[in-house]
Amino acid sequence: MLESSTIEDKKFNGWKNWQTWNVSLWLNNDEGLYMSIVNVKPKPDVVELEANTRRALPDGTPDMDSSKEYTGVCWSEILEKCFE
């Protein structure tokens, strides 16, 4: 018998969703991309993080179908987990 799913089950690898996880994966595993996103500041704010990511990856990450998938990204979660 299958157990009912919980909110935690709907997360992706501990992240809110696939889009958020995927962007964080790219930011944390590509030093050049990371440096272009943080733009010398040790911690960007949410608006800067999203704008710089969209500028660096205008078509979305290489794993995304298009930049439309950015709408699902929880930028504040990335900021919280990646720029502590």
Q: Break the chain into its structural domains and give their ranges.
A: 30-84
Query: Using one digit for the tens of pLDDT, what is the confidence trace for 50-67?
Result: 998 999 999 999 999 999
Q: Is the pLDDT of residue 4 over 70?
A: no
Query: Using one digit for the tens of pLDDT, what is the confidence trace for 27-44?
Result: 889 888 888 777 656 678
Work out the average pLDDT over 76-80: 92
Q: Write the CA distances from 45 to 4, 32, 69, integer angstroms.
A: 37, 19, 20
- pLDDT score of 41: 67
Task: Name the one residue in this structure whose structure tokens are 């979305």.
Answer: 60
- pLDDT score of 37: 76
72 exposure class (CB count in 10 Å sphere: 0-12, 13-18, 19+): middle
Amino acid at the residue 78: I
Distance CA 71, CA 30 (A): 22
Distance CA 62, CA 76 (A): 21
The pTM (predicted TM-score) of the whole model is: 0.80
